[in-house]
Structure 1
Amino acid sequence: MQQLTAIITGASEGLGKSLAIELARRNINLMLVALPGSGLPQLASYLRKNFAVRVDELEMDLTDTDGYPEIFVHLHLHGGAANILINNAGLGNWSWFEDKDPLFYKKQIELNVITPVLLTRLFLEQANAAVTSYVLNVGSLGGLFVVPKKQVYGATKSFIRYFTKCLQLELSGSNVRISLLSPGGINTKPELLVMNNKLKGIARATILEAEDVARIAIDGMLKGKKEIIPGAVNRVLVLLNSILPAFVKESIIKSRLKLILKS
């Protein structure tokens, strides 16, 4: 059986790093892409030493779209086409809209929206139609729920949800499996861990470790699941969201906004 090769964007830390380790454990070759200076060479070295997989790495700023073809050229020169694309790179925030300057939102939209769209287009162009290929788009429950202080981030994840659902319909008769990963909160950085540890009740129960999300995500992707929602509590919340009337959800959001304003 041919050994699969996966491209992972935003691979040097957080969920991307956990996805890389999970794929390496499954004997899948890797093409890791992340910003210069983010620890990518160190991760690649660790993976080569501990797993029997080929690991290629490219340090690049993914807001520079001119560099995208280099990913696929590099793969072609060092072993062929990719079978898996994981669009993980993204930029989040937790702030009032006026607190960030226009350049921040420009970068956020470029990285969260333009990057996955263009990389998916290039990936499909080089995919072998005779072999099953996989695209995993990392969305967020923030793309489904209205969350104060995540206005632009949530909008970009809503875009990813719509984009993924459309591709699933368009490619339903092909050998390409398109999956949407919709996690809740993830402990990916020390500052997030501190913040998440202050949560209580249901809010605390929605938070998962990056390693667990990665395992669930890869399992679901390889099974061809259309949407992967890690965590039982998160799945219940999505179900409730689909059945609650709009005025009830609006009331909950307004109550949450009042709590944020007081904090």
Structure 2
Amino acid sequence: MSDTTKPYALITGASKGIGKSIAHELAKQGYPLLLAARSDQELKALSDDLEVKYNIDIFYLSIDLSINGASQKITNWIKSNNYPVAVLVNNAGYGVWGDFSASSLNDQLGMMQLNMNVVVELSHLLVPILSQQKQAYILNISSTAAYQAVPTLAVYSATKAFVLSFTRALRFELAQTSISVTCFSPGPVDTGFAARAGLSALNKMAEKFNMQPDEVAKMAVKAMFSKKSEVIPGFTNIISVYANRILPKAFIEKTAAGIYKI
């Protein structure tokens, strides 16, 4: 391994999709990595690949972040190994698609735990560790769904609105510290998100509107290191968010319902 003096970057949901691409992007920039996700096999494969390509230290923890206490386990892992962490990427998350009343309550609550609680927990637990660095960063991955209510993705869009609001407030609170906080809100990305959500409608739209995870990751990391407060990647996504601000909410929600209809 290299004798890099850079502190570590912790990435949740690192085994696939945007998280995996962010791991590649940070590794390319010489950051040793701490990776957390459910799949031990995928984490090991990613770690081995990054170590060979970039000659950096990689450690991983296979853990289900949707289970209560997972954030504390990650923090204990970091503390027990004295990993100096300067970057926290809160990327782990998933969606549940379908009419709210017909969808599993356990699935909805699990999604809320992962999409919201883990972001809050890890941010709170790691701020004291991050503050030990001369410069540190928190990158929270939200979604363009944060900017509107989305029927059949009702809870998911609400969780992402929470992440956006929380990030804005946390950034303000930490403005006089060494920690910069950024919210990154992509639209559709070519990952396994739609498949896990059971969202066939989004799969059909993918060929026209999806961005590639490597492209999105590069933009996310650039936004974080540039200390941006809030970034929406892609011209189409920026226009759609702007439209949400000026058009009647009833119209926007009816349009979204048509796109994501069951």
The aligned residue for residue 47 of structure 1 is 50
- For residues 150 and 16 of structure 1, what CA distance do their matches in structure 2 show? 22
The residue type paired with residue 257 of structure 2 is L
Could you tell me whether the CA contact under 8 Å between 1:143 and 1:158 is conserved in 2? yes
Cα RMSD over matched residues? Answer: 2.4
- For residues 259 and 236 of structure 2, what CA distance do their matches in structure 1 show? 22
The answer to whether structure 1 residue 137 and structure 2 residue 140 are counterparts is yes
Stretch deviating more after TM superposition (163-172 or 191-200):
191-200
- For residues 69 and 254 of structure 2, what CA distance do their matches in structure 1 show? 42
C-alpha displacement at 1:194, in angstroms?
A: 8.2
TM-score, normalised with respect to structure 2: 0.88
In structure 1, the gaps of 5 or more residues are: none
The answer to whether structure 1 residue 90 and structure 2 residue 93 are counterparts is yes
The aligned residue for residue 250 of structure 1 is 250
C-alpha displacement at 1:255, in angstroms?
A: 4.2
The aligned residue for residue 216 of structure 1 is 219
The aligned residue for residue 150 of structure 1 is 153
TM-score, normalised with respect to structure 1: 0.88
C-alpha displacement at 1:245, in angstroms?
A: 4.2
Q: 1:255 to 1:182 in 2, by over 3 A?
A: closer
Cα displacement string for residues 170-193 of structure 1 (whole angstroms, at most 9, x for unaligned residues): 111111100001110111039659
- For residues 58 and 141 of structure 1, what CA distance do their matches in structure 2 show? 29
Question: How many residue pairs end up in the alignment?
Answer: 256
| Percent identical residues | 30
Cα displacement string for residues 211-247 of structure 1 (whole angstroms, at most 9, x for unaligned residues): 11000000000010001211112112222323x143x
The aligned residue for residue 62 of structure 1 is 65
Q: Which has the higher contact order (CA 8 A, sep 6+)?
A: 2
- For residues 188 and 214 of structure 2, what CA distance do their matches in structure 1 show? 13
The answer to whether structure 1 residue 238 and structure 2 residue 241 are counterparts is yes
The answer to whether structure 1 residue 204 and structure 2 residue 208 are counterparts is yes
C-alpha displacement at 1:257, in angstroms?
A: 2.7
- For residues 124 and 166 of structure 1, what CA distance do their matches in structure 2 show? 14
Could you tell me whether the CA contact under 8 Å between 1:19 and 1:211 is conserved in 2? yes
The residue type paired with residue 204 of structure 1 is K
Could you tell me whether the CA contact under 8 Å between 1:62 and 1:68 is conserved in 2? yes
One of 110, 116, 122 as aligned partner of 2:119? 116
Stretch deviating more after TM superposition (26-35 or 38-47):
38-47
C-alpha displacement at 1:45, in angstroms?
A: 1.1
- For residues 116 and 52 of structure 2, what CA distance do their matches in structure 1 show? 34
Q: 1:148 to 1:224 in 2, by over 3 A?
A: same
C-alpha displacement at 1:256, in angstroms?
A: 4.5
- For residues 117 and 154 of structure 1, what CA distance do their matches in structure 2 show? 17
The residue type paired with residue 17 of structure 2 is G
Q: 1:239 to 1:255 in 2, by over 3 A?
A: closer
Stretch deviating more after TM superposition (124-133 or 68-77):
68-77
Cα displacement string for residues 141-196 of structure 1 (whole angstroms, at most 9, x for unaligned residues): 11112222110000111111111111011111111100001110111039659865
Q: 1:172 to 1:141 in 2, by over 3 A?
A: same
| Secondary structure of 1:57's aligned partner | strand
Cα displacement string for residues 47-73 of structure 1 (whole angstroms, at most 9, x for unaligned residues): 111112110000111123434334334
C-alpha displacement at 1:258, in angstroms?
A: 4.7
- For residues 197 and 32 of structure 1, what CA distance do their matches in structure 2 show? 28
| Secondary structure of 2:240's aligned partner | helix
- For residues 114 and 258 of structure 2, what CA distance do their matches in structure 1 show? 31
Q: 1:196 to 1:152 in 2, by over 3 A?
A: closer
